[in-house]
Amino acid sequence: MIQSASIEGLLPTGVTAERFAEGFRWMLLSRTVEDKIAALYHAGKIVGGVYLGRGQEAFSAALGMALQQGRDVFAPLIRDQAGRMAFGDTVLSTLRTYLGSVLGPMRGRDGNIHRGEPRKGMPAMISHLGAMVSVVCGVLMSRRFKGETGVVGAASIGEGGTSTGAWHEAMNMAAVERLPLVVAVANNQFAYSTPSTRQFACDDLVERARGYGAQGISIDGTDLAQCIATFDAAVSRARAGGGPQMVVGRLLRLCGHGAHDDASYVPVELRELAENRDCLKAARATMLTNGWASPHELELMEAEAYEQVQQAVAQAQREPRPDPARETWMPLASEWLMEGNLQTA
Amino acid sequence: MIQSASIEGLLPTGVTAERFAEGFRWMLLSRTVEDKIAALYHAGKIVGGVYLGRGQEAFSAALGMALQQGRDVFAPLIRDQAGRMAFGDTVLSTLRTYLGSVLGPMRGRDGNIHRGEPRKGMPAMISHLGAMVSVVCGVLMSRRFKGETGVVGAASIGEGGTSTGAWHEAMNMAAVERLPLVVAVANNQFAYSTPSTRQFACDDLVERARGYGAQGISIDGTDLAQCIATFDAAVSRARAGGGPQMVVGRLLRLCGHGAHDDASYVPVELRELAENRDCLKAARATMLTNGWASPHELELMEAEAYEQVQQAVAQAQREPRPDPARETWMPLASEWLMEGNLQTA
Amino acid sequence: MDAAGVGMVDGRKPADRVSITYLEAIREAQNKALREDPAVFLYGQDIATFGGAFKATKNLAKEFPGRVLDSPISEDAMLGMAVGAAIDGMRPIVEMQFADFSSIAFNQIINQAATHYWRTGVPCPLVVRLPSGGTSGSGPFHSQNMESLYAHYPGLVVLTPATVGDAYWMLLEAITLNDPVIFCEHKFLYYHLKADSLPEERLPIGKARIMRGGRHATVVTYSAMLHEALAAANELARDGFEIEVVDLRSVKPLDTDTILASVARTGRLLAVGESFPWGGVTAEVVSRIAMEGFHLLDAPPRRLNCKDTPIPYHPNLWAVHRPTAATIESSIRDLLKQ
Amino acid sequence: MDAAGVGMVDGRKPADRVSITYLEAIREAQNKALREDPAVFLYGQDIATFGGAFKATKNLAKEFPGRVLDSPISEDAMLGMAVGAAIDGMRPIVEMQFADFSSIAFNQIINQAATHYWRTGVPCPLVVRLPSGGTSGSGPFHSQNMESLYAHYPGLVVLTPATVGDAYWMLLEAITLNDPVIFCEHKFLYYHLKADSLPEERLPIGKARIMRGGRHATVVTYSAMLHEALAAANELARDGFEIEVVDLRSVKPLDTDTILASVARTGRLLAVGESFPWGGVTAEVVSRIAMEGFHLLDAPPRRLNCKDTPIPYHPNLWAVHRPTAATIESSIRDLLKQ
Ligand SMILES: Cc1ncc(C[n+]2csc(CCOP(=O)(O)OP(=O)(O)O)c2C)c(N)n1
Ligand SMILES: Cc1ncc(C[n+]2csc(CCOP(=O)(O)OP(=O)(O)O)c2C)c(N)n1
Ligand SMILES: [Mg+2]
Ligand SMILES: [Mg+2]
């Protein structure tokens, strides 16, 4: 029953041009959305905080693409704009949430990365890191009880989040139940300002897979082809009954923790290195080099993404904001069990 | 900074006859104490529950022996009667606690395995499994702040306790701080009634060491010589700055979870096997075979242990019980901050 | 869930049995729920083959194969798992081995389960069973009453059954609710409290019950303290005092109207709870009645809780740590004098 | 700790500065504690080089090398570690990045730290700093007030400073206490609240402060709500109502005497808190005054809390979720009519 971990460096990719291009499109769209959100944030137009996935689009998009909405479950985390959209979240839902439209999935009750649509297989994250992994386990248990087979559940986590007890308990539970869980660990070398040396003391977090009885794969998380091949394979193995899969992506966060943070704590050397590791630039270059798109076509794609985002912004900005007078303040589905509001008692 | 795990099967022991005999004495004393406590429990003389270390004496005693009271810290757990005494806890303190003497270290406020003497380097466990490991980390941090070197901290845990987030967080923290922590994982194949197959899904829990950046050793926890050699070595490595050490002992609990539990859920095969794996019997045989004690000497030792226990029982039974009228009901050390008792307000 | 199985215990009619305990009622409710709703499953430490630390799930794993599962010692993940299953349409019942260990699941309960419906509009129907409260010799970590903590957070229903019938019917109703329910079972009642049979009538969740009518004072309480309060009322009846005893049954929602109506009759209020004195159920009850029933009160309201220390292990200390019939009686006597 | 550094901020006299914020006072108190007591150290996420999510520890890692440490994202172990260090003689100050994340450390706080002295006789002196309370746009998991949870459990001191001076002096005093202290700092006050300098006088922990005298009604509150209450009192003063405003400062212990004395003067009580309505500080205050000051009250006491839902993210919703000067004012007006 127990799978030992295999730690692989480079995978033969076998990724088609179409699939690579699809990944590139999600990455591009994600970057475009987030650049816009960052600009809106600095213009004071955003409600609450902004946390970007800059530099992590390849890893995230590949995970989202490997899953099937309507069948699978995906609990994204902070830096998963690309993966969310690849899984089915829309630009409009994103901007509605950030701009505070009441038509967004959280109706103004929660915001930014906390948005989700559980009925569409995307649980809404709570802030407490690690807490969503066991929730995905629960959806998978539910599917098993219902006799649905071939369902895969995925959850994202940062390297910092692996220090939580919640993450550990969920990984262990998934392995004990041999659940079809894929956990994507984005090791972007920082948790807010904290470098990995203050976060964990093994060489590569993938070394933890074996201790859970999960299969572990460690990859360069900025290489789109490798990400696609790896997540496709991990999802297939999980779907086929291979038990939990842990994919660790080596990355660098190409921005601050949030839009408020200039990341001045990141050493200069690393920041310089960083720009050369921008996964979007790399994927764009691959598109060109392989002739999968001409410079003009790429420009068109970029313009298209930009246009899509502009439209969503315009629409979300026109939409109503939450109206406290129409808000029901009803935390229970069992409405008859709500007492009158104590405030005015 | 990172140590990779080494998983070793058999160790050259190099354990002297004296040291082996010392271990045997602690084991014998522990078994004698616990047999008495179990008898008292069934006679209705014990306050609260009783949890025994039967079958785990070798593993526990060896850990306690490897440490030095006054210098080191040891957070024992449920089945550590042998290790507690080897570290400095006494038969009398044990029986005072179980028999409810107010002169016991917990003064009737807490009982049985929850007793401790933090000032003597033995924190008092709370029931929540896993929670004591980070407490030991804290004592070690404290010693480091104070500039004390060569201090080792040890914590026990069962295989079931490794499923807690608390354990994970503490292991990781210890590795990040490279603390001189020795964690003894007693894999006795059951957590209460739950077999290991429902608890974890790796082959051997020692496989988790590497993922923390700790050194891992897996041994037969019923072989006293191997236990002594292993813990001596692990404690030395930790003391010398080698960072966290994880020792996994393969065991079988030779009793119910508590004295109330007949362990009927343990499969018959395993129970039969079990008797042959009684570490005390094995150590006794080793003593005899090697001529380290004659049958007569062993009988004397047994009689002596019995006598010691009987005396402690007699004394503890004569001692006063907690008197609620003399209890201060003072949860704060800052007494002036206690409000009057609300009850009679 | 229909009432077909009413009064049936272990498949036998109550007539065949001498009595049914509070614990058996809990087991039987789970049995019935498993029988009637395929969405129900049970998850907890040692609950399968072993039937649970208190035997609240005895035989259920055998009767419902694959639906009663042993969990690892991972309270946080247990609750996270339950939330995931619940939002996907299942109705998990999670047993904490002791209420005290729910402190590890605290985050998943208050932040994940409790907020889910409000944040997303998707209900999160699950029940967390908490074996609660003090029994002699159990000590600080196997005796806690946590209803006051959970009731503080929005989005939870917190139940505290005090009778065999309520243990049965309220658990069954809890399982049908589309919200996370914290079900506080009192360990002291598990074996001690017996009924001849399961009552056929039930009171819905959210309604308090007047357990004993009276006109001199009202005691509002719940769970094990109900029985201490009833004993105190019996004692006082000898001296001609008629004490009304209200069983809250659920502490959130809290049935203020029933308490107000009682205080309107008696003019005097004592709130009794076994949990810690700062805040909690008795503070909520007394403050509500002070606000909404100020002019009904003929004397200052009173509270009685356990002492403000961890729960002591030794029976000598434990016996005076929590309220008892004797301390309740003496508190009522003082109240009657005012 | 002596008072040598009084009024000194970042090594300069207050005269050199325009003002000092609530946040700077917290930083300065930690600075002074680190300077004067070698047993003090700081532990938390991103508190070293980065100076913390709110910059409450800015520059301290540089000034006190090796004594301000970044922790992994492990709130349970952070608190366990602090307990171990505390019982070994150190005085750890743990920063939670947001109060809300202390739900992960909950078990170590209520069961390990809070019980330690009572169980073993060995004190456990540590401070947990909780950046608490709502700020616009922060949502359900970055806005919580958890003082009511922690105050419920025996063995903890729970502080809720509302002024720059209290933030400073109470934190310093907290560090010297031999008990675990939950220090609830309000994020809304961090940058908004300024004082010209640190006051030289201080009130000890455990004493409430009458922030504004009055004779028509008493408002009892704490933390950020103090400022809303003062604004409401100002507004009412225009109409000739003199409202007495009591700042609790510490919610456990809770200074009942000061409240009683105030209610004796005014005959009317409103308790205001920002945490959830069920239980909590306002319930405790109202129930105590109902019990101990019943005959002092000329009208039923009142409470005002935030609404019984998770804390909403959108400013439109957030603005009406918690009490404000306007809702406090209207509640006082109603109270005055009774
Ligand atoms: C349990 C918990 N503690 C603290 C936080 C505050 N926090 C939010 S994001 C973050 C850093 C996360 O780092 P990592 O997991 O590496 O993800 P990254 O931000 O790098 O994508 C922290 C500490 C939190 N959300 N949850
Ligand atoms: C967090 C937590 N959950 C549940 C329990 C109840 N409990 C006490 S002992 C035990 C089994 C422990 O098993 P293991 O860790 O293997 O130790 P062993 O008893 O086998 O020595 C359980 C579930 C607990 N003490 N703590
Ligand atoms: Mg990171
Ligand atoms: Mg075990």
Amino acid A276: pLDDT = 78
Q: Please check whether residues D213 and D191 belong to one and the same domain.
A: no
CA-to-CA distance for A62 and A87, rounded, in angstroms?
Answer: 10
pLDDT in tens, B228-281: 999 999 999 999 999 999 999 999 999 999 999 999 999 988 888 777 789 999
> Is C88 part of any domain?
yes
Average pLDDT over residues D147-161: 98
How many residue contacts between A and B have a Cβ separation below 8 Å? 96
What global pTM score does this model have? 0.96
pLDDT at B51 over 50: yes
Flag whether C3 is in a domain. no
Q: Is the pLDDT of residue C2 over 50?
A: no
Do C57 and C166 lie in a common domain? yes
pLDDT value at position A270? Answer: 86
**Residue B344 pLDDT > 90:** no
- Answer with the one of D195, D223, D249 that is the final residue of a domain: D195
Q: Selecting from 2.40.50.140, 3.40.50.970, 3.40.640.10, 3.90.330.10, what CATH number does the domain B14-322 have?
A: 3.40.50.970
Predicted local confidence at residue B276, as pLDDT: 78
Q: What is the number of structural domains in chain D?
A: 2
Closest CA to A254 of A10, A113, A58: A58
pLDDT category of residue B340 using cuts at 50, 70 and 90: low
Which residue matches tokens 């007569």? Answer: B296
Instruction: Mark which of C195, C223, C240 sits at the end of a domain.
Output: C195
Residue D204 domain-assigned (yes or no): no
Q: What is the pLDDT of residue C17?
A: 56
Q: Name the pLDDT band for C209 (thresholds 50, 70, 90).
A: very high
| Phi/psi at D59 (5° precision) | 70, -10
Distance CA A6, CA A265 (A): 34
| Closest Cα in chain A to B130 | A165
Closest CA to A81 of A315, A299, A312: A312
* Interatomic CA distance for residues A200 and C74, integer angstroms: 22
pLDDT of residue A137: 99
Ligand nearest to the CA of C76: 2
CB contact under 8 A, C90 and A145: yes
Give the whole-angstrom CA distance, residue C60 versus residue C65: 8
Which member of C111, C283, C300 has the closest CB to residue D141? C111
| Ligand 2 neighbour B159 (Cβ under 6 A) | yes
- Strands (DSSP E) contained in chain C are 20-21, 40-44, 68-70, 91-95, 127-132, 157-159, 181-186, 194-195, 209-212, 217-221, 243-247, 250-252, 269-272, 302-304
User: Which residue from D minimizes the CA distance to C278?
Assistant: D152
| Ligand 1 atom closest to A188 (CA) | 20
Q: Is residue C204 part of a domain?
A: no
User: Are C69 and C189 part of one and the same domain?
Assistant: yes
Pick from C70, C101, C141: CB nearest B198: C70
Name residues 240-259 of chain D within 8 A of B (Cβ): 253-254, 256
Domain match, C99 and C232 both: no
Residues C142, C145, C147, C153, Cα dihedral to 10°: -70
- pLDDT of B335: 94
Measure the CA angle with vertex A84, ends A81 and A90; round to 5°: 90
Burial letters C285-307, b for 16+ CB under 10 A, else e: bbbbbbbbbbebbebbbbbbbbb
CATH of the domain at C260: 3.40.50.920
Domains of chain A, by residue range, sit at: 14-322
* B229 exposure class (CB count in 10 Å sphere: 0-12, 13-18, 19+): buried
Q: Please calculate the CA angle A304-A308-A309 and round it to the nearest 5 degrees.
A: 120
Q: Do B331 and C71 touch (CB under 8 A)?
A: no
**Ligand 4 centroid vs B79 CA: distance in angstroms?**
10
Which chain B positions have a beta carbon within 8 Å of D249's beta carbon? none
> Is residue B161 lining ligand 2, measured as CB closer than 6 Å?
yes
Nearest to D175 by CA among D157, D190, D151, D194: D157
Q: Which amino acid is at C311?
A: I
Q: Is B178 on the interface with A (CB under 8 A)?
A: yes
Q: Do D279 and C281 touch (CB under 8 A)?
A: yes
- Cα–Cα distance measured from residue B119 to residue B105, given in angstroms and rounded to the nearest whole number: 11
The CATH number for C119's domain is 3.40.50.970
The pLDDT value given to residue C201: 86
B169 touches chain A (CB under 8 A): yes
If DSSP codes are grouped into helix, strand and coil, which group holds residue A194?
A: strand
Instruction: Assess D120–C contact: CB distance below 8 Å, yes or no.
Output: no
Q: Among all chains, which residue has been given the structure tokens 């104070």? A: B146
Interface check for A104 against chain B (CB to CB < 8 A): the answer is no
Whole-number percent of chain C with pLDDT over 90:
93
Give the tens place of pLDDT for each residue, C291-308. 999 999 999 999 999 999
- Can you tell me the mean pLDDT for C322-333? 98
Rounding to the nearest 10 degrees, give the CA dihedral for residues D300, D305, D309, D314.
140
- Tell me if A3 sits within 8 A of A215, measured CB to CB: yes
Confidence of residue D4 (pLDDT cuts 50, 70, 90): very low
Token code pair at residue C117: 């419906």
Evaluate whether residue D76 is within a structural domain. Answer: yes
Q: How many CB atoms are closer than 10 A to CB C199? A: 16
Instruction: With beta carbons less than 8 A apart as the criterion, state whether B11 and B53 touch.
Output: no
Collapsed DSSP state (helix, strand, coil) of residue B276: helix
Q: Which residues of C touch D287 (CB under 8 A)?
A: 282-287, 290, 301, 303
D144 in a domain, yes or no? yes
The finding on whether C97 has its CB within 6 A of some atom of ligand 2 is yes
CA-based end-to-end distance of chain D: 48
Give the closest of C41, C77, C92 to A173, CB-based: C77
Cβ-defined contact of A331 to D308 (cutoff 8 Å):
yes
Examine the pLDDT at B313 and tell me if it is beyond 70: yes
Give the number of the atom of ligand 2 that is nearest the alpha carbon of residue C73. 3
Q: Measured between alpha carbons, how far is residue C30 from residues B336, C16, C40, C100, C332 in Å?
A: 49, 21, 9, 22, 38
Q: Which of B5-14, C102-111, D16-25 has the highest mean pLDDT?
A: C102-111
Measured distance CA(B341)–CA(C277) in Å, rounded: 9
- Enumerate residue ranges in chain A where pLDDT < 50: 1-12, 341-345
Q: Which of C171, C195, C219 is the last residue of a domain?
A: C195
Residues with CB under 6 A from ligand 1: A 78-79, 127-129, 158-161, 164, 186, 188, 190-192, 253, 257; D 45, 73, 75, 97, 101, 104
Say if residue D318 is in the same domain as residue D182.
no
Across B5-25, average pLDDT: 72
> If you measure from the C-alpha of residue B183 to the centroid of ligand 2, how many angstroms do you get, rounded to a whole number?
16
When scoring D146, D278, D294 by the number of chain C Cβ atoms within 10 A, the one with the most, hence best to mutate, is D278
Whether residues B108 and C312 touch (CB distance < 8 A) is answered with yes
Inspect the interface and report whether the beta carbons of A100 and D314 lie closer than 8 Å.
yes
pLDDT confidence of residue A273: 80
Alpha-carbon distance of B8 to A20, in angstroms, equals 45
% of residues, chain B, pLDDT over 90: 89
Fill in the amino acid letter for D289: I
Measured in Å, residue B190 CA sits from the centre of ligand 2 at 9
User: For residue D142, how far is its CA from the centre of ligand 1 (angstroms)?
Assistant: 13
Over chain D, what is the mean pLDDT?
95
The chain-wide mean pLDDT, for chain C, equals 95
Q: Decide if D60 contacts D31 (C-beta within 8 A).
A: yes
Does C5 reside within a domain? no
C140 within 8 A of C310, measured Cβ to Cβ:
yes
Domain span at residue C231 reads 209-337
**Which of B126, B146, B170 has its CB closest to that of D111?**
B126
Q: Which two tokens stand for residue A261?
A: 């943070």
| Per-residue pLDDT tens over the stretch D303-320 | 999 999 999 999 999 999
Confidence of residue D201 (pLDDT cuts 50, 70, 90): confident
Interchain CB contacts (distance < 8 Å): A and C: 150
Residue reference for tokens 């992590």: A56
Tell me, what DSSP letter sits at residue D109? I
Contact A345 C292 (CB under 8 A): yes
Whether D76 sits inside 8 A of B339 (CB atoms) is: no
- Report the helix count and the strand count for chain C, using DSSP H and E: 13, 14
3-class secondary structure, D13: coil
Quote the ligand 2 centre to C72 CA distance (angstroms): 10
CB B275 within 8 A of CB B252: no
- Asked if residue D290 belongs to a domain, the reply is yes
